[in-house]
Amino acid sequence: MSTRGRVSALLPDFPWDTIASVKAKAASHPDGIVDLSVGTPVDPVDPLIQRALTSVAAVPGYPTTHGTPELREAVVAALKRRFGITGIGADAVLPVIGTKELIAGLPRTLGLGAGDLVVIPEVAYPTYEVGALLSGSRILRADGVTQLGPESPALIFLNSPSNPTGKVLGVEHLRKVVEFARERGAILASDECYLGLPWEGRAISILDPEVSDGDHTGLLAIHSLSKTSNLASYRAGFVTGDPALVAELLEVRKHSGLMLPFPIQAAMTAALGDDNHEAIQRERYRVRRDVLRKALQDAGFRIDDSEAGLYLWSTRGEPGRTTLDWLAERGILAAPGEFYGPRGAQHVRIALTATDERIATAADRLLS
């Protein structure tokens, strides 16, 4: 067997490959499919960002792995302005080629391997598990520190607001996890890609002074511009937090040649400096959420959590694959909750990432 075969054998089937037949069923609807199975943006990239991208298209040299000073300073300013996160220096910011790439490689980059324990949420974005599997680490699904007993994890992944559930962890919960991680010598990586999309209450960063008391030791916060800036195709993200950990990641990434293209860095700088386009996009999602949420509830669905983010975590009290078929008969495609762990088996994840017309179409079909 080839080396590549040995590596791929460690991984589960790619989740979306397993719903091909359901997708075909939904696509056979006479008026076409409404694909709500993935969180990919459908709205245009703001012209301000496009202009920034093209303004440096003629630059021929290699970009720096650490990113331009302007980009890193824009990150620091945006985190303070948008989320109240303070105490971050520009040196403790590292742009990445999309946050999925960072998460999948983080355990290996940190040198974890056999014998190390990686903790992931019980219902979780699949890439946390993939990253641990690729490093050969052990995996434990847990949502509370009491579930860990005497274990001393090497790495703990948090995700608030959650993908897929939209659940938001409060200050006290986050403080307890930070305290536990520091007592056990664990690195705490918080995936905060949906932090800018709260619908009910407040979403808070692991780096917020209310959570960390201004001490970022052992903490990493992972952010993406895919969601509220529509930059999924740009693969624009960054990680920040503990300066020593960021420096370690930077050193490995320099040796690996993991550099964010210079035009993307310019586009990110523009996006981070402008809050207007983000507010406009957030309002688009709010309107779509209101329409879809009401239609689902009127059709007999229960919506759990979903306080933030781009998804409605929905159930009809039956196996998620049964609900998936029910939706496909109406030309609607969702993601089965089992993709995200055993506790999601009776849910489906329904995305808000479709045009206003397709969201309205889905709402009509749910009630037909």
Q: According to the model, what pLDDT value does residue 17 have? A: 79
Same domain flag for 75 and 218? yes
Same domain flag for 238 and 203? yes
Q: According to the model, what pLDDT value does residue 143 have? A: 87
In a domain, 182, yes or no: yes
Same domain flag for 23 and 158? no
Burial call 276-309: b when 16+ CB within 10 Å, e when fewer: ebbeebbebbeebbebbbebbeebebebebbbbb
Q: Which CATH number goes with the domain that contains 121?
A: 3.40.640.10
- Domain of 352 in residue numbering reads as 3-44+277-366
- Torsion angle of C-alpha atoms 262, 157, 116, 88, degrees rounded to 10: 50
In a domain, 177, yes or no: yes
What 257-262 contacts at long range (C-beta under 8 Å, 24+ apart), as own/partner pairs, is 258/65, 258/96, 258/97, 258/101, 259/62, 259/63, 259/64, 259/65, 259/97, 260/63, 260/65, 260/67, 260/95, 260/96, 260/97, 260/235, 260/236, 261/63, 262/56, 262/59, 262/61, 262/63, 262/68
In a domain, 53, yes or no: no
Q: How far apart are CA 115 and CA 138, in angstroms?
A: 7
Same domain flag for 304 and 260? no
Same domain flag for 253 and 352? no
Q: According to the model, what pLDDT value does residue 1 have? A: 41
Q: Is residue 138 within 8 Å of 110, Cβ to Cβ?
A: no
In a domain, 329, yes or no: yes
Residue where a domain terminates, one of 222, 247, 273 = 273
- pLDDT class of 133 with cuts at 50, 70, 90: very high
Q: Is residue 188 within 8 Å of 219, Cβ to Cβ?
A: yes
Residues 305-341 have pLDDT tens digits of: 999 999 999 999 999 999 999 999 999 999 999 989 9
In a domain, 51, yes or no: no
Residue where a domain terminates, one of 226, 253, 273 = 273
Mean residue pLDDT across the chain: 94
Same domain flag for 263 and 290? no
Residue where a domain terminates, one of 214, 240, 273 = 273
Q: How far apart are CA 147 and CA 152, in angstroms?
A: 12
In a domain, 117, yes or no: yes
Same domain flag for 111 and 178? yes
Same domain flag for 165 and 311? no
Kindly tell me if the per-residue pLDDT of 108 is higher than 80: yes
Same domain flag for 251 and 156? yes
In angstroms and rounded to an integer, the radius of gyration of the C-alpha atoms of the chain is 20
In a domain, 54, yes or no: no
In a domain, 50, yes or no: no
Burial of residue 142 (CB within 10 Å: 0-12, 13-18, 19+) is: middle
Q: Which residue has the tokens 């960390």?
A: 212
- Enter the tokens of residue 38: 């993935």
Residues 183-211 have pLDDT tens digits of: 999 999 999 999 999 999 999 999 999 99
How many structural domains does the chain have?
2
Parallel, antiparallel or unpaired: strands 348-351 and 311-315: antiparallel
Alpha helices in the chain (DSSP H): 3-8, 20-27, 47-55, 69-83, 99-109, 126-135, 171-184, 209-212, 243-256, 262-272, 276-298, 320-328, 356-366
Q: According to the model, what pLDDT value does residue 340 have? A: 93
Beta bridge partners of 35: 333
Same domain flag for 66 and 8? no
Q: Name which residue leads in pLDDT, 33 or 1.
A: 33
DSSP of 212-223: HTT--TTEEEEE
Q: Which CATH number goes with the domain that contains 335?
A: 3.90.1150.10
Q: Which residue has the tokens 């359901």?
A: 22
- 155-159, strands of its sheet edge to edge: 93-97, 236-241, 219-224, 187-191, 155-159, 117-120, 138-141
Q: According to the model, what pLDDT value does residue 19 have? A: 87
Q: According to the model, what pLDDT value does residue 207 have? A: 97
Same domain flag for 177 and 235? yes
Q: How far apart are CA 335 and CA 35, in angstroms?
A: 10
Same domain flag for 245 and 337? no
Q: How far apart are CA 260 and CA 98, in angstroms?
A: 9
